[in-house]
């Protein structure tokens, strides 16, 4: 018993989920486990959602107006989650801040702090410009009411703070807001690509790892990031639209009871149009991503350098099911066919998006776990058994439930963010309301509609 | 003086002065000292002399407080067996902590392979440890600079600053790094820094009964071990990575990676 306890206490990080076969160096384990699979997956979603919103703001794809706003808010909800897997993976999570405090610039990870913070500021300020009018209107609506309860008062103060003192919502001011959004979105695209490209660089620059080391890695990561980001936006957009449609039909929510609320048919029409347009972009990026991935594979097979023997065994034999069936067939080929098939419907695109998300997840898995499936000695293999039922903190955070926590968090954050930045806010709605009731200065605004 | 003249003359002075000034260099005294340091540690392993007793592994674990039963180690010994029918077997059970007392090959996953002694073509042992590379990939990738190369060539880890991301472990082509089982920070061979800086040998060099492991100051050309490295044919592991390892091997087989 005592021996068992001692043995358990001496368990090395990674030992719990690594099984070694043939000759593996004594210190080799699968050190980068599920959370490092989640990390590029989540940052990819952030970058992808942002690129989608920029399609409207920068390139003026008018049809994407509604989903652009939605994906911007969603991208903001995903942001804090991008660093969650890193923190859960660190052996010394309390020292995680050191990456920001004492960055060592020859390391790809040290760029994280700078790129991540820059990116957060850009998304946050873009959101602010986008929603400034909403803040002002909400604030003024609350300001004129006399029967404010404690929470409404808090809300009033909160929205007053959010306006940052900029109450001007004249035409010119709004024009400036739009311009700012456009500029920020155009700066944001390269930074979003950098945010994810560098995640690819983290892997691609590890020369010790035969599977990871390729200059294509950052580009592959960016393309698959955009693919996954768009797919998740479609999925979440359709889900929320379905809920809204349901509410509109049953008139459940407060907004649905208003006379000016969008009807069931209006919602359905908007949904179909948005999803059709977005799925086109999804297809373009998918073609780019798959082309690069296949190119990488063919190149390795053709050049047959020293590592190819072991890589071939991993790719073609041991991980065949995960790579060719789960990733390429179910995650890429099948949704691709579903989308190019004529008469694509919202339902089909949504199903395809789920498969694409799965495919991108499998791609991350096959890169991160697959890259550790063989020994540095090229003479042995390591198998990864993801801990499902946690028996200690480590197997929780680096196991199934840790990954699940990371998966769920953005949706929880989105729920709350949506209260502040309503993702489905209609421009004309608020403008009409504002112009119809009063002149210029917002605080004189006299609408009494409870919102 | 007119403004025009003033400007003309100023440009002349700046242009004239910039030539001799460009010859001046900002000198970091530390850098100069480091470049001309009279100590740079290197390691020499004679694979012909190693018998796989595992004393070095035991000594290392004891000296450096690496838990005995933990399946990680700063140094280890590998066994290579080539059969006459051209099969290769490699193993290193527990990093050879208890020595090679079992003739069977550890195939992993609890399987062992019996090899007919008459079928053995050649067999040898290869001790391994951190190579203390001249251009170490592990220090390059540390996001907080917790691992660094000391002026005398030894690659060290600052245990109070390591965040435990594992990037250095991934970056090392030799598998020399691991997470310390109780301290939860990256750990590796330090060439027994606390000993060599006091003029002693490393624990493994001290423990090796056959002199398979030797340590030297490669800047000192009168050092007998340095002479061996300079005069004999020695090899290093995985030189294709451009890491310039400072652990030299006598009798290195090409299959040893």
At A142, is the pLDDT very low, low, confident or very high (cuts 50, 70, 90)?
Answer: confident
Q: Where are the domains of chain B?
A: 47-129+202-215, 137-187
Q: Rounded distance, CA B162 to CA A276, Å?
A: 49
Instruction: For residue A73, tell me if it sits in a domain.
Output: yes
Residue A447 has pLDDT above 70, yes or no: no
A307 lies within 8 A of chain B by CB:
no
pLDDT of A436 reads 37
DSSP string, B103-141: -SEEEETTEEE---GGGEEEEEEEEE-----SS-HHHHH
- State the average pLDDT over residues B100-114: 90
- Which of A208, A210, A309, A376 should we substitute to test contact with B (largest number of B Cβ atoms within 10 Å)? A208
Task: Please report residues of A whose CB lies closer than 8 A to that of B145.
Answer: 102, 104
Give the pLDDT score at A438: 41
CA distance A19 to A10: 17
Number of neighbouring beta carbons within 10 Å of residue A157: 12
CA B101 to chain centre: 27
B257/A22 CB distance under 8 A: no
Report the distance separating Cα B217 and Cα A266, nearest Å.
Answer: 80
In this complex, is the C-beta atom of B110 within 8 Å of any C-beta atom belonging to chain A?
A: no
Give Cα separations from A256 to A79, A234, A269, A406 (angstroms): 30, 23, 17, 32
Identify whether the C-beta of residue B162 lies closer than 8 Å to the C-beta of residue A92.
Answer: yes
Whether B175 contacts chain A with CB within 8 A: yes
**DSSP three-state, residue A379:** coil
Digit-coded pLDDT (tens) for A64-93: 777 888 888 888 898 888 889 989 999 999
Q: CB distance A31–B179 less than 8 Å?
A: yes
B137-187 — its CATH code?
A: 3.30.70.20
Least confident piece of the model among A38-47, A433-442, B126-135, B245-254: A433-442
- Establish if A295 belongs to a structural domain: no
Nearest CA to CA, how far is B56 from chain A (Å)?
15
pLDDT of residue A358: 95
* A91: its two tokens: 């052996």
Chain A residues lying within 8 Å of B179, measured CB to CB: 12-14, 31, 91
Categorize the per-residue pLDDT at A422 as very low, low, confident or very high, splitting at 50, 70 and 90. Answer: confident
Q: What is the pLDDT of residue A446?
A: 38
Instruction: Report yes or no on A291 lying in a domain.
Output: no
Summarize pLDDT for B146-159 with one digit per residue, the tens. 999 998 899 999 99
Residues of A in contact with B174 (CB under 8 A): 25, 376
The model's pLDDT over A313-337, given as tens digits with 9 standing for 90+, comes to 999 999 999 999 999 999 999 999 9
Tens of pLDDT, residue by residue over A339-374, are 998 888 889 999 999 999 999 999 999 999 999 999
Q: Could you tell me the pLDDT band of residue A440, with boundaries at 50, 70 and 90?
A: very low
Q: Of A251 and B61, which is predicted with more confidence?
A: B61
> Mean pLDDT in chain A?
85
Cα B169 to Cα B167: distance, rounded to the nearest angstrom: 5
The reply to whether residue B137 touches residue A208, judged by beta carbons under 8 angstroms, is yes
The H or E element spanning position B186 is: strand B186-187
Whether residue B171 lies within 8 A of chain A, CB to CB, comes out as: yes
Residue A433 has pLDDT above 70, yes or no: no
Maximum C-alpha span of chain A: 80
Strand pairing category for B120-128 and A380-384? unpaired
pLDDT band at A448 (very low <50, low <70, confident <90, very high): very low
pLDDT at B25 (0 to 100): 74
* A window 216-275, beta carbon within 8 A of B: none
- What is the rounded CA–CA span in Å between residue A220 and residue A213? 12
Greatest CA separation for chain B: 101
Q: What is the pLDDT of residue A255?
A: 67
Do residue B71 and residue A90 have CB atoms under 8 angstroms apart? no
For residue A107, the chain B residues in CB contact (below 8 A) are 140-143, 167
pLDDT at B90 over 60: yes
Chain B residues with CB-CB distance to A92 below 8 A: 162-164, 184-185
> Percent of chain B beyond pLDDT 90?
79
- Domains held by chain A: number: 1
So what's the ipTM on this one?
0.86
DSSP string, A393-448: HHHHHTSHHHHHHHHHHHHHHHHHHHHHS-TT--HHHHHHHHHHH--S-GGG----
pLDDT band at A451 (very low <50, low <70, confident <90, very high): very low
What pLDDT does A373 receive?
94
- How many CB contacts within 8 angstroms connect chain A with chain B? 158
Residue B105 backbone dihedrals phi, psi, to 5 degrees: -90, 135
Q: Is A65 helix (H, G, I), strand (E, B) or coil?
A: helix
Q: Which domain holds residue A177?
A: 41-205+394-451
* CB atoms B108 and A102 under 8 Å: no
B26-30, B74-78, B140-144: which range is least confident on average? B26-30
Position A270 in a domain: no
Contact state of B164 with A95 under an 8 Å Cβ cutoff: yes
Is A384 inside a domain boundary?
A: no
- Res. A5: pLDDT tops 60: no
Q: Are strands B178-179 and B111-113 parallel, antiparallel or unpaired?
A: unpaired
Output b/e per residue, B42-67; b: 16+ Cβ within 10 A. bbbbbbebbebbbbbbbbbbebbebb
SS3 B6: helix
Residues of B in contact with A23 (CB under 8 A): 78, 89-92, 108
Question: Is it the case that residue A254 has pLDDT exceeding 60?
Answer: yes
């Amino acid at each position: 018993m005592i021996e068992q306890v001692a043995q358990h206490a001496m368990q090395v990080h990674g030992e719990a989920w690594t099984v070694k076969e043939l000759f593996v160096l004594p210190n080799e384990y699968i050190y980068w486990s599920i959370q490092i699979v989640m990390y590029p997956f989540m940052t990819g979603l952030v970058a992808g959602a942002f690129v989608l919103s920029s399609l409207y703001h920068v390139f003026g794809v008018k049809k994407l107006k509604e989903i652009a706003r939605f994906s911007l808010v969603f991208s903001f909800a995903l942001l804090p989650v991008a660093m969650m897997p890193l923190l859960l993976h660190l052996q010394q999570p309390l020292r995680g801040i050191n990456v920001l405090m004492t960055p060592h610039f020859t390391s790809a990870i040290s760029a994280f702090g700078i790129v991540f913070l820059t990116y957060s500021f850009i998304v946050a300020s873009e959101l602010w410009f986008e929603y400034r009018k909403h803040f002002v209107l909400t604030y003024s609506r609350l300001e004129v009411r006399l029967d404010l309860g404690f929470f409404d008062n808090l809300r009033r103060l909160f929205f007053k703070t959010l306006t940052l003192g900029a109450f001007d919502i004249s035409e010119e001011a709004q024009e400036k807001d739009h311009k700012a959004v456009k500029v920020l979105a155009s700066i944001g695209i390269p930074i979003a690509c950098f945010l994810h490209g560098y995640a690819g660089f983290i892997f691609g620059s590890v020369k010790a790892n035969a599977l990871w080391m390729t200059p294509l890695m950052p580009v592959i990561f960016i393309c698959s990031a955009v693919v996954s980001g768009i797919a998740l936006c479609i999925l979440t957009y359709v889900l929320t639209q379905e809920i809204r449609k349901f509410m509109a039909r049953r008139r459940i929510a407060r907004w649905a009871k208003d006379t000016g609320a969008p009807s069931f048919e209006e919602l359905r029409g908007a949904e179909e149009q948005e999803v059709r347009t977005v799925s086109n972009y999804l297809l373009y990026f998918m073609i780019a991503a798959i082309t690069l991935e296949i190119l990488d594979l063919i190149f390795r097979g053709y050049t047959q350098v020293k590592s190819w023997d072991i890589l071939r065994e991993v790719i073609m034999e041991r991980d065949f099911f995960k790579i060719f069936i789960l990733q390429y067939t179910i995650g890429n080929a099948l949704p691709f066919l579903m989308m190019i098939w004529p008469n694509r419907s919202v339902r089909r695109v949504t199903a395809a998006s789920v498969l694409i998300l799965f495919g991108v997840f499998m791609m991350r898995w096959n890169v991160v776990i697959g890259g550790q499936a063989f020994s540095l000695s090229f003479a042995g293999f390591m198998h990864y058994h993801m801990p499902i039922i946690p028996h200690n903190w480590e197997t929780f955070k680096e196991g199934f439930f840790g990954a699940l926590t990371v998966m769920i968090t953005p949706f929880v954050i989105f729920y709350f963010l949506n209260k502040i930045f309503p993702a489905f806010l209609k421009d004309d709605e608020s403008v009409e309301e504002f112009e119809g009731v009063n002149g210029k200065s917002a605080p004189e605004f006299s609408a009494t509609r409870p919102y | 003086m007119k403004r025009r003249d003033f400007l003309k003359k100023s440009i002349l002075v700046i242009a004239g002065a910039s030539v001799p000034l460009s010859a001046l260099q900002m000198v970091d005294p530390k850098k100069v000292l480091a470049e001309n340091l009279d100590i740079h540690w290197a390691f020499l392993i004679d694979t012909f002399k190693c018998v796989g007793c595992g004393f070095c592994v035991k000594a290392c674990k004891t000296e450096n407080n690496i838990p005995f039963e933990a399946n990680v180690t700063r140094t280890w010994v590998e066994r290579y067996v080539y059969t006459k029918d051209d099969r290769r077997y490699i193993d290193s059970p527990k990093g050879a902590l208890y020595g090679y007392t079992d003739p069977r090959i550890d195939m992993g996953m609890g399987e062992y392979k019996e090899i007919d002694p008459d079928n053995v073509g050649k067999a040898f042992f290869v001790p391994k440890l951190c190579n203390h590379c001249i251009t170490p990939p592990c220090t390059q990738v540390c996001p907080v600079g917790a691992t660094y190369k000391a002026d005398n060539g030894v690659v060290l880890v600052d245990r109070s600053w390591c965040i435990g991301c594992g990037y250095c472990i991934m970056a090392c082509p030799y598998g020399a790094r691991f997470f310390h089982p109780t301290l939860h920070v990256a750990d590796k061979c330090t060439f027994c820094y606390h000993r060599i800086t006091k003029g002693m040998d490393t624990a493994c060099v001290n423990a090796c009964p056959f002199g398979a492991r030797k340590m030297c100051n490669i800047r000192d050309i009168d050092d007998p071990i340095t002479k061996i490295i300079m005069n004999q044919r020695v090899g290093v592991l995985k030189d294709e990575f451009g890491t310039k390892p400072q652990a030299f091997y006598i009798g290195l087989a090409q299959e040893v990676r």
